[in-house]
Amino acid sequence: MGILPFLLASASCIASTFCQNNSVTTTFTNPILDAVGADPWVIRHDGYYYMTYTTNDDITLLRSRLLTNWNDAERRVIFKPPPGLNYSTDIWAPELHHLSGNWYVIFTADPRYDNPPPEVDMLCVFNCPAVHHRMFVLEGTGTDPWAAEYEYKAQLDTYDQFAIDGTYFQHDGNLYHTYSCWSEAYDAWPANLCITKMSNPWTVSSPLSERQIISVPTNPWEKTPYGRRVNHRLSTNEGPQQLTNPETGQIFLIFSAGRSDNRNYCLGQLSLVGDDPMDPHSWKKHNDGCVFYQNAEEGVYGVGHASFVQSPDGTEDWIVYHGMQDPANGWAARTIRAQRFSWNEDGTPNFPRPGYGPYHVPSGQVGDKSC
C-alpha cells in the first residue's frame, strides 16, 4: 500500500482533463499532510500555494493549488548541502520569501548535528544544546519560485551565537532579521526573541551592540515545566512570524512559547505599539497567556510554529501550524494543520481552538486536487 496512492496521485496530476474537472469539495480535515512534519511555512503566489517545512536533511518545496490538502502536491528538493559545512545538518524551519524581486529561503542549520566537544559543553550553564545552530540564506533569481534555481547565498550574522527559526520582518520599508537567540554565547536558556537590521535579504547590518532582545520567556506559560514561575532551563520563545491586520495595519509578531516536544507548546503574541521595531519598548507582549494552545477535548496538543496566509480569493486569513495528537511521542508526533482565523474588535488576531474539523475550505478554493 506504500506506493499505490502515490502513483494514483501522480497520474491525476498529469491527466489535466481530470484536474480541470475537479469535483467540488467543501470541507477538509486536519492534518493537511499525512506525514510527520513540523515548522510549516506557506506563501501564496500566482494561483499556487508553496509550502516548506522541516525535513532535516534538505529543503523541499511543495506546490499546490489547495491550501488544505498537500498529499498529492508536487515536491521539489531545492537544496541539499554537501557534508562537512556549517550548514550541512539539522536543517530546520525553512521559509520562502519574495523580496526585492528575487526569492530567498531563510533557514536554520548546524555542523555535524551540533555535537559540542566537552570544552564547549562545559561553558554552558546546563549543557549546550544547539550551541552551533546558525541562520543561512539561499537565493533563487527570477519571478517564478518553482522554476528558480536556489543557491547558497550567505550566513546571517548572529555574532557567532545560537540562532534558530529566523524570519524576515518588514516595517516602513526597512528589513529586519528576527530569530530565537540566547543573550550570550553559552547561556543555553532562556531562548529569547532577537531583532537586528538588515541592509538586504542576506546581510545583517547591526553590530552586536545594537542587537535587541524584544521578548524573554518570563511568564509561567512560556516556561517548561509549564506554569513554573522561576525556571530558565527549557524556557523558550521561538518561531517568530510577522502578522499584519489587513484592515487596520496593526503589526504583530506571533511566536511559539514553551518547548516544542510537549503538549504545552503554544503561540504567544507581541504587538508593535511604537514606531521603531529595534526599540524593545515598541513591543507589548500579551502576558495573559497563550493566544493559541492545546485543545485536550479534541485531542490536539503542542500547537505552534505557525505561518499565516490568505484564502485563494484573498478574503480570509488562515493559520498553518503544527500540532500533536499523541503528546507522549514528542517531536515525532507533529503534523501540519490549517485553520481559518478572524480578528477581534481591537484589531488583534482571534485564533480558533485547534481541532481536526471538518472545516469549510478556504474561500475561492476549487476542487480537491493539488494540480
Ligand X SMILES: *[C@@H]1O[C@H](CO)[C@@H](O)[C@H](O)[C@H]1NC(C)=O
Q: How many residues bind ligand X (CB under 6 A)?
A: 5
Tell me whether residue 90 is one of the annotated catalytic residues: no
Question: CB of 125: closest distance to ligand X in angstroms?
Answer: 19
Looking at residue 187, the DSSP 8-state letter turns out to be -
Nearer to ligand X, 21 or 127 (CB): 21
Question: CB of 18: closest distance to ligand X in angstroms?
Answer: 7
Among residues 39, 90, 222, 317, the one annotated as catalytic is 39
Quick one: CA dihedral 85, 90, 92, 96, positive or negative? positive
Q: Please select the residue that binds ligand X; options are 86, 325, 348, 363, rule is CB under 6 A.
A: 86
What is the tally of helices (H) and strands (E) in the chain? 3, 23
What string marks each residue from 206 to 245 as x (binds ligand X by CB under 6 A) or -?
A: ----------------------------------------
Q: Name residue 145's amino acid.
A: P
Question: CB of 161: closest distance to ligand X in angstroms?
Answer: 9
Tell me whether residue 345 is one of the annotated catalytic residues: no
Question: CB of 21: closest distance to ligand X in angstroms?
Answer: 4
Query: What backbone torsions phi and psi does residue 128 show, to the nearest 5 degrees?
Result: -115, 55
Three-state secondary-structure class, residue 298: helix
Q: Please select the residue that binds ligand X; options are 3, 4, 14, 17, rule is CB under 6 A.
A: 17
Among residues 90, 222, 238, 317, the one annotated as catalytic is 238
Give the DSSP per-residue string, 306-361: EEEEE-TTS-SEEEEEEEES-GGGGGGGEEEEEEEEEE-TTS-EE--------EEP
Q: Which of residues 101-140 bind ligand X (CB under 6 A)?
A: 132
Site membership for ligand X, residue 160 (CB under 6 A): yes
Give the DSSP per-residue string, 191-236: BEEEEEEEEETTEE---GGG-EEEE---SGGGSSSTT-SS--TT-B
C-alpha grid cell, residue 223: 516556561
Q: Which residues bind ligand X (CB under 6 A)?
A: 17, 21, 86, 132, 160
The residues annotated as belonging to the active site are 39, 238
